[in-house]
Structure 1
Amino acid sequence: MKIYLDGKLVAKEDAKISVFDHGLLYGDGIFEGIRAYNGRVFRLKEHLDRLWASAKAINLTIPLSKIDMEKAVIKTLLANKLTDGYIRLLVTRGCGDLGLDPRKCTQPPSVVIITDAISLYPDKLYEEGMEVITASTRRNRPDTLSPNIKSLNYLNNILAKMEAVRSGVMEAIILNSEGYVAECTGDNIFIIKDGILYTPPASEGALIGITRDAVIELAKNKLKIQVREEKLTIYSVYNSDECFLTGTAAEIIPVVIADSREIGSGKPGKITVKLIKEFKNLARSTGIPIK
């Protein structure tokens, strides 16, 4: 496996970051998770736009242009002979001293691109649906740290993930400080009630996901169903007709049990199944060619 590290392709075992990099010391950096399907990188422009927006929010200068970053992603995929896979793109603050001050990072930010296969959940869960719990860990307040900054500090999500693992499930719903549904540990959440698709807005602590946006577009344009971004309570989830999660790595996965409550019929719903089909068609037919 070849890793892109600061302009060079190096072997996996040689892809090393200094222990003085502030991305390691303080989580001072940003990332994107991107997917390639059928020889194309899905919504690469949107992912890079979001990366640059995260960088601007934390006052980090990415040492490549968007065009050069696109070329670097394609180059890394080609080096690993991948036409389908997962891309993890990171930009760290760079090497500094043991203080917090980013001005002490005298070296340029580091850019890392990893390309590999990924399987976030077992195939069985996509067919039969998954079980989730509600975590006691609350989402960071959006007025202290915006959920739309995809920073290298994911401890808030990890703590909630640990709760899911201790409960014997693979995912957990995270509530915001006011008790409304924000998202899950690595995915956005949707519910369907009376034929209407609902999802929490960014103001409630939800990341504006790339897959989330694609699903909203497909629901509106392909399935002709109404979509609402509204505050959701866990009660709304329990009493929904269907529920599913979305994410770059997860794609679309149905939820059939939440906190031991059966969702709808206890099986993946009709609208969810249709959206999965439409998303697969979209992902495998659009994107930047890998060449």
Structure 2
Amino acid sequence: MLQDLQIFGFRALWSPYYALFILTLALAYLIIFINRKDSKRVNVEQVLYFYGGLVLLYIIKGSPMDLMSHIMFTAHMLQMALYYLLFPILIIKGIPTWAWRKVFEVPVLKHVLKLLTKPLIALLLFNGLFSLYHIPIVFDFAKANEWAHSSISITILITAFIVWWPIFTPIKEQDKMSPLLKIGYIAANGILITPACALIIFSSEVIYNTYGATGGWIQALALCVPGDVLSGLSLSGPDMFSPLGIVEDQQLGGIVMKITQEIIYGTVLARIFFPWFRSGTDKIDSLPSTHRTEQI
């Protein structure tokens, strides 16, 4: 399939300008956080998280995955799952606590963040906007308008950082949820995102005109393919790049989103549950051996 995509050219496939943006972020992190001589210097784990996040970001937004997300709904849903459910975790854990404190100390912003990062508000905000985005009329409009697409994507990404903050916050005084509440919080996220996936998975009709053969997908391609390249191509429909029918692709996209979400949420749940369970087990005193002997 990648060979078929070569007709769109190098710029559409590998986004050199986005690669430059990623390299700029990498250099800024090196200067601000790594190349320090004081106690504020980041550790190896934080470096791996942050640069891992940048690599993932380029795969999501700079590699052929981004182009495919405008052709196949399955690729779009995989892109969304990685972008909103995994990428924020890596960045949150990659940036040191002192830097996050500065963000939360900005005069006006600190009050907004204090409100939005409350677990219930964060939960409803992210899942509500994610579901709203996948309403057909909203989705098709966003895919046909560059400014709307960018604005909506960035807004949901911000709420994705917010929804993960109560779980991964490095600021101790903000880490107020017990392990049990965190488990319930993640489970609630999984439940709230399910209706949007279910409607997509079980629909027997084409929901999004963007992925139809009537021209909507050409408008979506214009978001990532240079105009001079796109105008010179003869394209019949998305089926020329996909072995799946439109409905099958749509259903598979919902399944991919749900499975990817379950894997990410399940991994986070395991990292919370098992240390909590072990810490509880360690507090249980074993029966003294002398007492057992007396009993025998």
TM-score, with structure 2 as normaliser: 0.26
Q: Which has the higher contact order (CA 8 A, sep 6+)?
A: 2
- Structure ranking higher in helix proportion: 2
Using structure 1 for the length normalisation, give the TM-score: 0.26
Higher strand share: 1
